[in-house]
Structure 1
C-alpha cells in the first residue's frame, strides 16, 4: 500500500486536514506516512490559508496503535538495522516538528493511541479524546522503551503518574487523560465527525471546542493516585519495588498487582524507562529526542526487542525469555551505555 492510500493530507477551507487510513493495521505508522505528514507540515507552515492542522483517523478501534513493529523487527533480523533506524530518525524529527509547530495542531483521538500514535498527537497544542480513547505506552512489554517524546512528556505528568505509565504500560481512558494533561478536551464519540468538520472553518478554536466538550466521567486511577505518587516518586527502581511491596503487604491490591506487572516486563526495558524518566525531567524536548535516538540505536542491535516482538506479535506465546531475566540482575553500567553519545550518528534536529 502506498503512503497516498495510508494517509491523506489536504487543505479544507482554513485547515490542513490529515487522515490516517490504515484501519486494518490500527493505523500503525509506516515510513511513508511519516514522510507524507512531514511534507504536509512543511507546506502548510507558511501557507496563509492554513490556520490550523487537524489530524484524525479512519476506523473506530484506533487513532494510531504505534509504528509497524513487525516490519521493523524483520528488518533488524535481516541485519538491516540502518533501515530500521531511518524510520526512527525521521519519526523523531517529525515528533520534534510537531512539538514546535507554530500553528495549532489538533488531534482527534477516538480509540487506541499508543507508541507512534502518541508521538504524532501528544505534542500538539490540542488533544481531543473521544469516549473510545485508550492511551498506553506499553513498550516495556516488548523489550522496547517509551519513545516518541515520552522522555520529555511523561516525567512532567502530575503525581509520578507518567513514571507509572512508562514502567507498567498501563492503559488509561479519556477521564484519566484529561486529569493528567494527556488530553486537553473530551468530546462524545458520536460528535467527532461533526467536530472535525467544524474545525475546518475560521471560527476561534476555543469557541468551537466549547460547543463540543463533555465531562468524561470518573477516572480509572483516581483511587490509586496516592499509591502511584508515593511509590513511583521513589529515587530508584529498588525503592519503587520496596514501596510497592510494603503497601502490598499492608493489603493494597493495586500495589500487589503493579509489582507483579513490573516482574513480567523486560527488566532491561524497565530499567531504561526509569532512567529515561529520571533524566527526562531535566531535558528540553530536543535533547529528549536525541536521548531517545541514542537508546533506540542500541536496542536495534540488542536482544530484547526481537525477543519481545517474537513472544507478543509473531509466536504469540507471551513467554519472552528476557536477558537478563530479572531486575535484580540488571547492571547499572549496562543501562548507562544506552544513553551514551553517538558521535557522528547523533540525531540532528534543525528548524
Structure 2
C-alpha cells in the first residue's frame, strides 16, 4: 500500500519529467458521462456488467478506508447475483488508476490515542485484496496511468489487467520505510526469475509495455483505444460473457494497438537473475559491487537510499511469501504492518518524503547489519491473541490471477 494523499512522493524523487507528463495525460473517457465530482467511488450498471470508477483524481485515486468499505460489499453482492457477469474497474481524472493507499491517515491514526484506522485500514484492505484474487466473476482492471501499492492490490490479483503506454507501475515502499504489501508477498516472488525481488527492493518503475512483459498485465492496449474497448466490453451480450470471450476481445484490441515495445529490462535480465538471487540483502549488495557496471552502480545507489529495515523485511517477506498460500500471505503482511507502525522508519519515511519533503530520512538503524535477527523475528512474529488477521477460505473460490 503506497502512500499517496496530496501528492505521490516518488514523482519528484523517481520519475523523469517525460514519464510524469505521459502519466498525467487525459485518459479515454469512454462512452459514459463523467462521474459526479463529489463521489469517491462511482458505480455504473449495465446489462450483466458493473463498472467501478475510482474518483479521487486530486489524490490520484488513492484509496481511503471509506472507499474500501464501500467497495467490498458491492463486490460481494455482485458475486452472488446471477445477473452480474463481469466487473470493470478504472480510475478517473487522467493521471492514475490508483496511486496507493492513504498512509498519512494511517500515520495520524497510529499517533492518536484511541484511533484504530491504522489497524482497520490494512485489515479491511487485505480482505478486499483476497476477495479480488478469489473472485468468481471476470474482473477487468484498466490500469491506465499511475498504479502503485494499493492500486496493485486492486488490479494485479484480478483475472484481467489491461496496461497502456501511459501505465507506470511500481512498488516503491522500501523508500518510504515500509514494505510491498497488498499481496506483494504472493505475486512478486512468482514473477519470472528474480524480477520480483528486484522490483521489491529497488522500487523500479515498470512503464507501459514493461508491465505486460513482466507478467503483471495480461494485455496491452493503446490509450487511444480505451474508449472503444470499454464500449465493446459494456456492449457484450450478458449471456455470452465468459473469460474466453473477454480474453478474445481484449486480445483483439491489443492487436489493433501499435507494435508492442520491447522490454526495457531485457538487457539486464541475466544480471537481475544472478545478482538478486543472493541469500541475503548483503549478498545482493556485494554482487552489485562486484558487477561494477553502470547499471549495477545505479541499483546500488538506489538501495543505499532505502530503509535498511525495510530492505531486510522485504527480502524475508518475499522469501517466505514464495512458499505461502495466497490466503496466508495476508496474515504475514498484516503482522508486518502492525510492527511497522510500532517502529521508527515508516514514520520517518513519511516525514521526510510526504510531510517535510526534505527527502532526507534518518533511518534507524542506518545500515543493513544494524538490523538484528531478533528484530527481524519480531516483525514476523504473531500479534497478541485475537489481533492477527486470519482469512477464512472462500467456499468454491479459486485463485483467479495468472500472475
Alignment TM class, shorter chain as reference: over 0.9
Question: Quick one: distance in 1 between partners of 2:207 and 2:376?
Answer: 32
Question: Quick one: distance in 1 between partners of 2:156 and 2:122?
Answer: 17
Name the SS of the counterpart of 1:29 in structure 2: coil
State TM-score, norm by structure 2: 0.83
Structure with the largest fraction of helix = 1
Between stretches 6-15 and 138-147, larger displacement belongs to: 6-15
Candidates 279, 284, 296, aligned match of 2:320: 279
Q: Tell me the alpha carbon deviations over residues 82-114 of structure 1, each in whole angstroms, 9 at most, x when there is no partner.
A: 321101100000000000001111100110100
User: Are the equivalent residues in 2 in contact too, given 1:3–1:33 (CA < 8 A)?
Assistant: no
Post-superposition offset of 1:39 = 1.1
* Structure 2 match to 1:18: 52
* Structure 1 match to 2:210: 176
Cα distance change, pair 255–80 in 1 and its aligned pair in 2 (3 A): farther
Cα distance change, pair 236–138 in 1 and its aligned pair in 2 (3 A): same
Aligned 1:260-271 pairs, distance under 5 A: 260-271=301-312
User: Are the equivalent residues in 2 in contact too, given 1:286–1:349 (CA < 8 A)?
Assistant: yes
Candidates 241, 245, 249, aligned match of 1:208: 249
Q: Does 1:72 align with 2:109?
A: no
User: Are the equivalent residues in 2 in contact too, given 1:19–1:58 (CA < 8 A)?
Assistant: yes
Q: Tell me the alpha carbon deviations over residues 249-277 of structure 1, each in whole angstroms, 9 at most, x when there is no partner.
A: xxx11111101111110000011100011
Q: Does 1:228 align with 2:272?
A: yes
User: Are the equivalent residues in 1 in contact too, given 2:328–2:391 (CA < 8 A)?
Assistant: no
Aligned 1:133-144 pairs, distance under 5 A: 133-144=167-178
User: Are the equivalent residues in 2 in contact too, given 1:11–1:50 (CA < 8 A)?
Assistant: no
Q: Does 1:96 align with 2:130?
A: yes
* Structure 2 match to 1:289: 330
User: Are the equivalent residues in 2 in contact too, given 1:81–1:301 (CA < 8 A)?
Assistant: no
Post-superposition offset of 1:81 = 5.8
Question: Quick one: distance in 2 between partners of 1:210 and 1:243?
Answer: 40
* Structure 1 match to 2:26: none
Q: Does 1:32 align with 2:66?
A: yes
Question: Quick one: distance in 2 between partners of 1:137 and 1:54?
Answer: 23
Post-superposition offset of 1:50 = 1.1
Question: Quick one: distance in 2 between partners of 1:298 and 1:3?
Answer: 37
Question: Quick one: distance in 2 between partners of 1:269 and 1:183?
Answer: 26
Post-superposition offset of 1:210 = 2.2
Question: Quick one: distance in 2 between partners of 1:124 and 1:97?
Answer: 9
Q: Does 1:82 align with 2:116?
A: yes
Post-superposition offset of 1:45 = 0.4
User: Are the equivalent residues in 2 in contact too, given 1:158–1:180 (CA < 8 A)?
Assistant: yes
Question: Quick one: distance in 2 between partners of 1:140 and 1:19?
Answer: 29
Post-superposition offset of 1:4 = 7.4
Question: Quick one: distance in 1 between partners of 2:345 and 2:113?
Answer: 15
User: Are the equivalent residues in 2 in contact too, given 1:3–1:36 (CA < 8 A)?
Assistant: no
* Structure 2 match to 1:45: 79
Q: Tell me the alpha carbon deviations over residues 267-288 of structure 1, each in whole angstroms, 9 at most, x when there is no partner.
A: 0001110001110110011111
* Structure 2 match to 1:254: 295
Count of residue pairs the alignment pairs up: 347
Name the SS of the counterpart of 1:220 in structure 2: coil
User: Are the equivalent residues in 2 in contact too, given 1:140–1:269 (CA < 8 A)?
Assistant: yes
* Structure 1 match to 2:283: 239
Cα distance change, pair 260–187 in 1 and its aligned pair in 2 (3 A): same
User: How large is the RMSD of aligned CA atoms in angstroms?
Assistant: 1.5
Question: Quick one: distance in 1 between partners of 2:137 and 2:319?
Answer: 31
Post-superposition offset of 1:222 = 1.2
Cα distance change, pair 4–94 in 1 and its aligned pair in 2 (3 A): farther
Structure 1: gaps (5+ residues): none
Structure 2: gaps (5+ residues): 1-35, 395-403
